[in-house]
Amino acid sequence: MTAYEPRAAELRELLNRYGREYYVLDAPTVPDAEYDRLFRELQALEEAHPELAGADSPTRRVGGAPLAEFDSVTHAVPMLSLSNAFSDMQLADPAERHAELIQFDERVRKGLDAAEVEYATEPKFDGLAISLLYENGVLTRAATRGDGVAGEQVTENVRTIRAIPLRLDGANPPALLEVRGEVLMLKRDFERLNADQVARGDKTFANPRNAAAGSLRQLDSRITAQRRLSFFAYAIAQVEGADWPDSHAGEMVWLKQLGFPVVEESLRPVVKGVAGLSAYYEGVQARRAGLPFEIDGVVYKVNRRVLQDALGFVSRAPRWAIAHKFPAEEALTV
């Protein structure tokens, strides 16, 4: 323990706390200039005393030397994409949409022999799905979805995303936790990136999803570090050494406590039956244009995990979760 360790530990704790306030709580208590000042002090300390830099140090977010290629990672639990059991035909016709919601709810209730089912609901982010592995509370590996069975190891790039904790909050982290979520670029950061691209004479990105994918799959993580990527957690794939919440809603509360950004709707009460699903779909569709991120629909999930397990999966998509897409947004008239 050198004489500098206490100050280095204090700086790491302050910077991780300020980062969480900014990205998870959306309620910063210090100005960016204060964050940057402390960040530079820690960087100088770690450069002078390399033994001080730990895996969870915020300075580990600035990216290292470029990789020659990405290693492949096999997912212990396959990363499934959601089936969209709603036909495109229903997109424009509310009556058709309602009829297909009834079919979906009936199929679930039949599968569970249940009179009424509770659903968790959330917007369907239009970004890039990733898997985050935490061992004893520290981020040890991040991977893209790939084909669902194997993806690319993008840990160094993911470390540069300030919204993703390098260390879980709380005194007793689980021995192992795998979190799934979406890396995305907020609309305002996308506009800013494209303006910078034009100013540099570089090509612009077609949409925030492509910008997020292009930024995350960079072999040079210093480029990723310059891009403003965000993240929202939406599922837990593995837990060891802690109680696994018994519902999706419970998982979202726990993930937020651990330090992950979770979309506010995932913390709202669950809905019941077709009426609840339909009201949610309409509500989000009405708010879609005003959301800070792009979405391409909503997600309904059977809330209780024991019921999810009972329904299982059909082919490679869960029977207990489904995407409900919106009509494509009218092409913006320029």
Ligand X SMILES: Cc1ccc2cc(C(N)=O)cc(O)c2n1
Paired with 323 in beta bridges are 299
**Closer residue to ligand X, CB minimum distance, 164 or 321:** 321
Q: Which of 52, 299, 302, 322 binds ligand X (CB under 6 A)?
A: 299
The helix-helix angle for 94-112 and 273-287 (nearest 10°) equals: 140
**146-to-32, 79, 131, 325 alpha-carbon distances in Å:** 35, 9, 10, 22
* Interface with ligand X, residue 234, by CB under 6 A: yes
Selecting among 110, 124, 301, 325, the annotated active-site residue is 124
Query: Does 124 sit near ligand X (CB under 6 A)?
Result: yes
User: φ and ψ at 312, to 5 degrees?
Assistant: 65, -145
Give the range of 22-30, 107-115, 122-130, 204-212 binding ligand X by CB under 6 A.
Answer: 122-130
Q: Using the rule CB under 6 A, is 254 a contact of ligand X?
A: no
Site for ligand X in 5-64 (CB under 6 A): none
Q: Does 270 bind ligand X (CB under 6 A)?
A: no
**In angstroms, what is the minimal distance from the CB of 240 to ligand X?**
19
Q: What is the CA radius of gyration of the chain?
A: 21
In the complex, the smallest distance separating the C-beta of residue 120 from ligand X, rounded to whole angstroms, is 8
Kindly state the number of chain residues that form the binding site for ligand X, as judged by CB under 6 A: 11
Nearer to ligand X, 242 or 323 (CB): 323
**What residues numbered 190-219 form the site for ligand X, per CB under 6 A?**
none
User: What is the C-alpha separation between 254 and 250, in angstroms, rounded?
Assistant: 6
Q: From the CB of 95, what's the least distance to ligand X, in Å?
A: 27
| Locus of tokens 């989000």 | 284
Alpha carbon distance 212, 190 (integer Å) = 9
Given the rule CB under 6 A, which of 117-125, 166-174, 217-225, 325-333 is the region that contacts ligand X?
117-125
Cα angle for residues 274, 278, 283 (degrees, 5° grid): 150
How far, in Å, CA of 35 to CA of 16, rounded? 10
Check residue 143 for interaction with ligand X (CB under 6 A). Answer: no
**Closest approach of ligand X to the CB of residue 320, in Å:** 9
Query: Residue 46 CB, nearest distance to ligand X (Å)?
Result: 36
In the block, tokens 């993580």 appear at 221
The only residue of 23, 70, 119, 125 in contact with ligand X, by rule CB under 6 A = 125
Tally of CB atoms within 10 A around 49: 14
Stretch near ligand X under the rule CB under 6 A, chosen from 24-32, 119-127, 165-173, 238-246? 119-127
Strand partners, 236: 179
Does 284 bind ligand X (CB under 6 A)? Our answer is no
80 binds ligand X (CB under 6 A): yes
Can you tell me the distance from the alpha carbon of 148 to that of 125, in angstroms, rounded to the nearest whole number?
Answer: 17
Regarding 235 and contact with ligand X (CB under 6 A), the answer is: yes
The two structure tokens encoding residue 131: 């898997």
Nearest approach, Cβ of residue 282 and ligand X (Å)? 18
Task: Say whether residue 321 binds ligand X (CB under 6 A).
Answer: yes
In order of 31, 100, 199, 202, the CA distances from 139 in angstroms are 27, 41, 36, 33
- Residue 203 known to be catalytic: no
Residue type, 264: E
Between residues 80 and 143, which has the closer beta carbon with respect to ligand X? 80
178: CB partners within 8 A, 6+ apart: 76, 77, 131, 132, 133, 134, 236, 237, 238, 239
Structure tokens at 249: 């809603």
Closest CB 330 distance from ligand X, rounded Å: 22
Contact residues: ligand X, CB under 6 A: 80, 82, 122, 124-125, 182, 234-235, 299, 318, 321
Instruction: Name the residues annotated as catalytic.
Output: 124
